[in-house]
Amino acid sequence: MSNHAGHDHSHAVVTEGNAKKLTFALVLTTTFLIIEVIAGFMTQSLALLSDAAHMFTDAAALAIALVAIKIGKLPADNKRTFGYQRFEILAALFNAMMLFVVAIYILYEAYQRFSHPPEIQSMGMMVVAVIGLIINLISMKILFSSSQESLNVKGAYLEVLSDAVGSVGVIIGGAIIYFTQWMWVDTLIAVLIGFWVLPRTWVLLKQSINILLEGVPDEIDIEKLRNDLLALQGVESIHQLKVWAITSKNVHLTVHLLAPQADQKALYQQAIEMLSHEHGITEMTLQIEDDECAIHSHTKPSIGEHDHHDHDHDHDHESHEHSNDKKQHQL
């Protein structure tokens, strides 16, 4: 027994909503990027072209996130039974790495400028930064709610956020330079932006790698989960407990429960309700076993189990009856 339909429908709705938001943010960002590049060449302003390069990374991040969602919606097939949802996590990982490169480049550029501060056109710098900030704030507002649920969207959101913080820094720096002619302020602000971006990028990178390594999701308390399973009526022990995530909110669980005296149907329903309500897990496989022999049999390689079972079926009637007594329930 399983409840896949409700979960899949919910995921499809969320994914479709994320795609629309990313598309709108991508159109806004790309439009401003084109205007900024044209303005940069017309005015021969290196500051404008540099900011355009940063805006290009935003557009690239949004495009990658959008493509990942489109690929992630492809149905499962015989080779990829979980489907293509992991493409969203790969996109988040790529965006995190791209953010790292941008932040390190900013720090390197700042180091170079300390010894050779360039002549900065503060007024033009501020005008472009203000327009860029407005575009980024609109994109951030669109993406914020989805960034809490999807690592893929979170990666794109952090790209836009880092650019928005950069725009604020540029505006402040431009104003200070305009009134004081302190050119080194631009470099100082660049360093602060780099150090602000790096820790947030590390969090995204760590979350993406944890999912790709099939680690226990951050929101799951594995010790509480284990204790809750052991507390179910009739359960004497548990083994083969595995919890992992396919995407940010798509958590899966498998576990074997040893419960020789339990009403297996009642135990099955209790386990489903507890896992769903207490831990938010709706994709699960439960196997309820009624003797210790079952535990040892599951430690053997699967092909060995299959051969052993076939041998018993053909040559050992008593063992065949024993295997019929062992009931398995899967969700």
**pLDDT per position in the chain (331 positions), as tens?**
333 333 443 444 456 678 888 888 889 888 888 887 887 677 665 556 666 767 777 788 888 888 888 888 888 888 888 888 888 888 888 888 887 887 787 778 777 777 776 666 667 777 877 888 888 898 888 888 787 777 778 878 887 887 788 778 778 877 888 888 787 777 777 777 778 778 878 888 898 899 999 999 888 999 999 999 999 999 999 999 999 998 877 899 999 999 998 888 999 999 999 999 999 898 999 999 887 655 554 443 433 334 444 444 444 444 333 433 444 444 4
pTM attached to this predicted model: 0.67
User: Could you tell me how far CA 34 lies from the centroid of its own chain?
Assistant: 30
Identify the pLDDT of residue 34. Answer: 87
Query: In terms of domains, do 116 and 262 share one?
Result: no
DSSP class of residue 75? P
Q: Are 254 and 285 in contact (CB under 8 A)?
A: yes
Q: Which CATH number fits the domain that encloses residue 171?
A: 1.20.1510.10
Which residues have a Cβ under 8 Å from the Cβ of 149 and sit 6 or more positions away? Answer: 14, 248, 249
- DSSP notation for 155-176: HHHHHHHHHHHHHHHHHHHHHH
Determine the structural domain holding residue 316 and report its residue range. Answer: 222-325
- Residue ending a domain, among 212, 247, 282, is 212
- Are 261 and 303 contained in the same domain? yes
The pair of structure tokens assigned to 176 is: 């200070």
Residue where one domain finishes, among candidates 212, 236, 263: 212
Which amino acid makes up residue 123?
M
Residue type, 124: G
- On whether both 164 and 133 belong to a single domain, the answer is yes
In this structure, is residue 14 part of a structural domain?
yes
Same domain for 138 and 258, yes or no, is no
> Considering the domain boundaries, does residue 266 fall inside one?
yes
Contact present, 293 and 266 (Cβ < 8 Å): no
Domains identified in the chain, total number: 2
Residue 326 has a pLDDT of: 40
Whether 200 and 234 share a structural domain: no
28 plus 87 within the same structural domain: yes
User: Angle at CA 22, nearest 5°, toward 17 and 25?
Assistant: 130
Assess whether 168 and 264 both reside in one domain.
Answer: no
Give the distance between the most distant pair of CA atoms in the chain: 94
Question: CB–CB of 156/25 below 8 Å?
Answer: yes
Q: Report the distance separating Cα 139 and Cα 114, nearest Å.
A: 33
Task: Looking at the structure, tell me whether residues 148 and 265 fall in a common domain.
Answer: no
Q: What pLDDT sits at residue 118? A: 64
Residue 330, domain member (yes or no): no
Residues 270, 58: Cα–Cα separation, whole Å: 47
Same-domain pairing of 16 and 161: yes
We report the CATH number of the domain holding residue 309 as: 3.30.70.1350
Dump pLDDT digits (tens) for 289-324.
887 655 554 443 433 334 444 444 444 444 333 433
Please indicate, yes or no, whether residues 201 and 320 belong to a single structural domain of this protein.
no
Domain co-membership, 180 together with 237: no
292, part of any domain: yes
**Residue 96: predicted pLDDT:** 85
Same domain, 118 and 10: yes
What local confidence, expressed as pLDDT, does residue 225 receive? 94
Domain boundary among 177, 212, 247: 212
pLDDT of residue 202: 87
Considering the domain boundaries, does residue 331 fall inside one? no
